[in-house]
Amino acid sequence: MKKIELLAPAGDLEKCKTAILYGADAVYLGGKKFSLRSRASNFDIEDIKEACDFARSHNANIHVTVNIIPHESDFEGIKEYLKTLEEIGVTAIIVASPAIGQIARKVASKLEIHLSTQLSITNYKSVEYFDDIKPDRVVLARECTMDEIRYITKNINTNTETFIHGGMCVNYSGRCTISNALTLRDANRGGCAQSCRWKYHLYDGENKISDDEILFSMSSKDLMAIDKVYDMIEANVSSLKIEGRMKSNYYIATVVKTYRKLIDEIYETKKRPDKDRIEYYEREIAKAENRLTSSGFYDGLPDESGHLYGVNGAGVTHDFIGVILDQDDDYAYVQTRNLYRLNDELEVFGPDIDNETFVVTTIIDENDENVELVNRPMSVMKINIPFKVSKGDMIRRFHDDN
Ligand code: SF4
């Protein structure tokens, strides 16, 4: 049986490489044109090519979002762009516009076409509608229930991809113009200003009804579907997608590694993870920065518990301390991200290392002097780590205030 794909986001090359090294089977990214989140993208064609070369050398694939809702003026250069993506080794494009799908079929026929979640596909008949494009994959709407995912996957003759983790839109994805209205930034042409997550005063006529301390937000909780991975595999879904092209390198590493381990465990044990294992994986996810989470629509229409109500982040248990650059016989060389000091207990994780802990007993700064505390981001320190670590491994520490 073909193993389900783990598909991770990347906002730049470093994140792309991290995602692949930490266990993603494929990475999706956006170019500077024709993509949502285009404002955040650092991928020009050279970068996309480098991402493809890196992915190929690690047995992974690159998908490129070409998912704007194009107006007439947006098509300029699209044919050349699609041909170039095909030539440099991109596996798939993710499209929200049937027009872009049709153009791709004609000018870049080797590119797989994945229908974006922006199309809000929540039933199998909608997939049939796109028969002339012959999509290789359909990214189902985040608003589907688990039963609908099972039913659609069974009744279509192409593959399905579902979201497993990350931010949710308060509107159906792609059918939102809050950002357009409040900031003149078109969410469907790469400009979403996340206006749903702002904090608002609420008025009923002249009367303010919001609490000044806890302002109203339209923001949904993030999706976390750790407990649905087994169901997705059983339902024959082809790919599990993590959302978050704007998220940090540390977040990508933490979330990708967690889902990698979970998927591998399910294939190894061939059974549904029990409550203890689910809680273990949820604790792993909580080590990275996050909003509060829920299971989204997978168990049915979310009630008020799926809403954030003015709270932004919570429940994160660990700080990201630094990245390993190298290790010799005596010390590891660590690039600093957050404050740490002597006697801290730190945890190392990486592609080949799983939550090994140690106590900091020596810190030597760039002037070869022993120091007690490190508080300069990006400074490189020599510290004692009593086990083997590798370049790219990450260090974190349990919050003092937990
Ligand atoms: S404003 Fe919010 S709901 Fe609208 S597209 Fe942006 S993130 Fe989604």
> What pLDDT does 96 receive?
93
Residue nearest to atom 6 of ligand 1 (CA): 194
Residue 129, pLDDT above cutoff 90: yes
Between the CA of 115 and the centroid of ligand 1 the distance, in Å, is 19
Residue pLDDT, tens place only, 53-79: 999 999 999 999 998 889 999 999 999
In CATH, what is the architecture of 5-169+224-298? Alpha-Beta Barrel (3.20)
Structure tokens at 249: 């390198």
Q: Of the residues 68, 170, 199, which should be mutated to test ligand 1's pocket, given the most ligand atoms within 8 Å of the CB?
A: 170
Between the CA of 217 and the centroid of ligand 1 the distance, in Å, is 12
> Where are the CATH 3.20.20.60 domain residues in the chain?
5-169+224-298
Between the CA of 270 and the centroid of ligand 1 the distance, in Å, is 38
Structure tokens at 130: 């796109």
Average pLDDT across the chain, whole number: 93
Residue 40, pLDDT above cutoff 80: no
270 Cβ contact list (under 8 Å, min separation 6):
none
> What pLDDT does 267 receive?
98
Q: Of the residues 192, 199, 246, which should be mutated to test ligand 1's pocket, given the most ligand atoms within 8 Å of the CB?
A: 192
Residue pLDDT, tens place only, 21-35: 999 999 999 988 887
> What pLDDT does 165 receive?
97
What's the N-to-C CA distance of the chain in angstroms? 43
CATH code, 318-398: 2.40.30.10
Between the CA of 387 and the centroid of ligand 1 the distance, in Å, is 45
Per the CB < 8 A criterion, the answer to whether 195 and 182 are in contact is: yes
Percent of the chain whose predicted confidence (pLDDT) is above 90: 78
Between the CA of 167 and the centroid of ligand 1 the distance, in Å, is 10
Residue 39, pLDDT above cutoff 70: no
Average pLDDT over residues 85-100: 97
As a whole number of angstroms, the distance between CA 347 and CA 355 comes to 6
265 Cβ contact list (under 8 Å, min separation 6):
273, 277
Percent of the chain whose predicted confidence (pLDDT) is above 70: 96
How far is the CA of 220 from the CAs of 190, 281, 302, 308, 317, in angstroms? 20, 22, 10, 6, 21
Of 176-185, 206-215, 251-260, where does the model show the most confidence? 251-260
**Angle subtended at Cα 70 by Cα 114 and Cα 144, rounded to the nearest 5 degrees:** 45
Confidence of residue 91 (pLDDT cuts 50, 70, 90): very high
Atom of ligand 1 lying closest to residue 197 CA: 2
Q: What does DSSP assign to residue 3?
A: P
Between the CA of 200 and the centroid of ligand 1 the distance, in Å, is 15
Lowest mean pLDDT among 184-193, 203-212, 226-235, 271-280: 184-193
Residue 331, pLDDT above cutoff 70: yes
* 234 φ/ψ angles, rounded to the nearest 5 degrees: -60, -30
How far is the CA of 312 from the CAs of 161, 241, 294, in angstroms? 28, 23, 14
As a whole number of angstroms, the distance between CA 356 and CA 387 comes to 8
Residue pLDDT, tens place only, 351-401: 999 999 999 999 999 999 999 999 999 999 999 999 999 999 999 999 765
Lowest mean pLDDT among 32-36, 119-123, 154-158: 32-36
Residue 402, pLDDT above cutoff 70: no
Residue 83, pLDDT above cutoff 90: yes
> What pLDDT does 99 receive?
95
Atom of ligand 1 lying closest to residue 176 CA: 4
* Total-model pTM: 0.94
Residue nearest to atom 4 of ligand 1 (CA): 176
Q: Of the residues 196, 197, 221, which should be mutated to test ligand 1's pocket, given the most ligand atoms within 8 Å of the CB?
A: 196
Confidence of residue 305 (pLDDT cuts 50, 70, 90): confident
Residue pLDDT, tens place only, 159-193: 999 999 999 998 888 788 899 999 998 887 777 88
Residue 202, pLDDT above cutoff 70: yes
Residue 38, pLDDT above cutoff 60: no
> Where are the CATH 2.40.30.10 domain residues in the chain?
318-398
More confident residue, 399 or 236: 236
The residue whose two tokens read 């596909």 is: 121
> What pLDDT does 176 receive?
87
